[in-house]
Amino acid sequence: MSTSQQAYPPGLIEEQQSHSKWEQKNHGVWERTFDPIEQTVNFMAVASPSKLQFVITVGAILRDPIHVKELQNAWLALRYVYPVVGSTITDTGLRYQVPKSERELQHWVDETTKIEKTDLSPQEVALSAVAPKDSRGAEIWVLPRTNELFLLIRHEICDGVGSLILLNKFLELLRENKQFGLTDFGHEHTNLSEPISKIMKTGLPTERQRKQVDEMATEFVSQRALGLQTKPLDPNPVPKSGRIEHTFGQAETASILAACKVNGITITHAATAAAAIAILEHSGEQSGRFCTVCHVNMRELLPTEYNRALGNLFTTAFSSIPVSKSSELIGVSEQVKQVYNWWKYNKDNCACSTLMPDIVIDSLTAAFTAGVNIPAVMAPIPLGVVEKKITEQVEDFWFNLTVSGGGSCMYIYTVKDRLRFVYCYDAIFHEDNSIKEFNTTVIEHLMRGLELVQLANVS
C-alpha cells in the first residue's frame, strides 16, 4: 500500500476531527479544544515569560467622526455575527458564553471598548496595549482625536486575513447603525467559527509526510538556518514591541507589480525571495538555508460560505530554500512560488497541519532544553490587496503583530495602490536601525532583481 493510501484504525480520523468540535458544557456555555494550528499559535503566544505575543492589531482611519454609542452598538452587533469575538482563551481551547442579561452584555461592551485620549499614534498605543485583558478574544480601541480605531485580537481566534474580514464587518455594521440588544442573542453560538481541520475534513498525515516534517523541524532549529543578527541582551530587559513600516509610492508599486507579472511571479514570491537574499547578507554568511514559515491562505479553496469566515484558515509551509551570494531574485522567487503552489493546491498537505505541534512545540522545546541557539528567522506573510477584504470606505489602513524573541515577521500588502512592507519584531532582540537597514537591503535586492533600480527610492 502506498503512503498516500495508508490505512488507519477505524474511527481514528473522525475522532481527531471531533476534538475541535464546539460542545455545550453547561447551559449557554460552549467550548472546544484547539485544533493543531491553534494549539501551536497558543504555545507561541504564551511561550515568552515577559509578554503575550502573537496578538494582531488591525486599524483604520475613518472618514466620518466617531460616536462612541454608535461604535459600541456596532461592536455588540459584531459579537452576534462573529461570536468568537466574545470568547475567552483557555489553556486548551476556546470558551463562549451566551449572555444571560442586558447587564452582563453591557459589562462586556464596557470592558472591551477602550477610549484613548492621547497624543500618541494608534500604532504606538497598539504596541503598548499588548493584549486583550482577562484572556478575552478581542477588544476595540478608539482614538477620537485622530478619528482612528483598531481591533486588538488574539491570534488563537483568527489569522491576519481574518482580521481584515472582521474589521470590514465591524465598519459595515457601524455604517448601518442597526440596534442590537439581549433579545438578539441566544442562538448566536451557531455562528461560532470552525477550525480548518474540521472544514477541510483533514485526515491523518502519511509516513512520507511525517518524515518530511521531521526533516523540516531539524533544519528549522539547526544552526544551518539563516537568521538576522541580534543585539546583545540586556540582563534586565524591558518588554518592548517594535514595528517598522515602508510604503512605496504609487508609481513604484505599479512598476513592481508589472515586473512581477512579466516574470510570472507575485509580489509575495518576489518580496520573500528578496528577504531570503537580504537575510543571507545580514547574517554575514556566504551561503545557507532560508528556513521560514509560509502562511498559505486557504479561503479561496474552501466552500463559498467560508470565504469571509474567521479562524486560522491557513496551512503552514515550513520551507527551506538554499541561497548563496550568487543567488538571483527571479530564481529564488521561482522556488518560493513552487513552495506556495505545492502546499496550497495539494489538499493532502493540510494533513501536515496536524503535525505542527511536533514541528514547533516539541522541536523548539527540545532545542531550548538542549541549549541550542535558535536562529532569528524572518517570516514574510502576505495579506494581499487590502481592498479585496475591506470594502468599506476608510482613509487608511494599518496592521501589526506583537512578537517576542529573536524571530520576526514581514507583512506584505497593498492598500490605496501602494505596496507596504511592515516588520514586526521584539525590540529586546533587534534595534530599530538594524531592521531599517534590513528593509533597505530587501528593497535593493527587490528592485535590482526586477530590473527597476532606476526607480528605487529607499527611505
Question: What DSSP line would sit under 141-171, residue for residue?
Answer: EEEGGGTEEEEEEETTTB-HHHHHHHHHHHH
Same-domain pairing of 241 and 380? yes
pLDDT at site 226: 85
Higher pLDDT, 38 or 319: 38
Residue, of 291 and 177, whose pLDDT is higher: 177
Q: Both 229 and 144 in a single domain?
A: no
User: Which CATH number belongs to the domain containing residue 104 in this structure?
Assistant: 3.30.559.10
Backbone region of residue 451 per phi and psi (left: phi > 0; alpha: psi in -120 to 50; beta: other values): left
35 with 134, same domain? yes
Q: Are residues 48 and 59 in the same domain?
A: yes
Give domain status of residue 329, yes or no: yes
Residue 7 lies in a domain: no
Tell me how many domains the chain contains: 2
Residue 225 has pLDDT above 50, yes or no: yes
Among the candidates 150, 178, 194, a domain finishes at 194
Q: Are residues 247 and 363 in the same domain?
A: yes
The pLDDT score that the predictor gives to residue 257 is 98
Q: Which residues pair with 149 in a beta bridge?
A: 60, 142
H or E element at residue 297: strand 287-297
Based on the fold, state whether residues 77 and 180 are members of the same structural domain: yes
147: in domain: yes
pLDDT tens per residue, range 364-389: 777 777 766 777 888 999 999 999 99
pLDDT at 250: 96
Instruction: Determine, yes or no, domain membership for 421.
Output: yes
Bridge partners (DSSP) of residue 401 are 56
C-alpha cell at 283: 547574517
pLDDT tens digits, one per residue of 86-144 = 999 999 999 999 999 999 999 999 999 999 988 888 888 888 877 888 899 999 999 99
Q: Which of 144, 174, 194 is the last residue of a domain?
A: 194
Distance, CA of 198 to CA of 33 (rounded, Å): 12
To the nearest whole number, what is the mean pLDDT of the chain? 87
Tell me the residue length of the chain.
Answer: 459
> Is residue 395 in some structural domain?
no
Residues 309 and 438 in one domain: yes
Quick one: pLDDT band at residue 151, thresholds 50, 70, 90?
Answer: very high
Nearest to 22 by CA among 98, 100, 96, 99: 96
Strand order in the sheet with 138-143: 113-115, 138-143, 148-154, 55-61, 396-401
Q: To which residue does cell 451566551 refer?
A: 98
Q: How confident is the model at residue 50 (pLDDT cuts 50, 70, 90)?
A: low
- CATH number of the domain encompassing residue 332: 3.30.559.30
Same domain, residue pair 126 and 207 = no
Question: Which residue matches cell numbers 447551559?
Answer: 27
Residues 223, 164 within the same domain? no
Maximum mean pLDDT: which of 13-22, 93-102, 220-229: 93-102
Domain that includes residue 60, residue range? 20-194
**pLDDT recorded at residue 351:** 77
**Do 360 and 266 share a structural domain?**
yes
- Give the integer Cα–Cα distance in Å for 178 and 173: 7
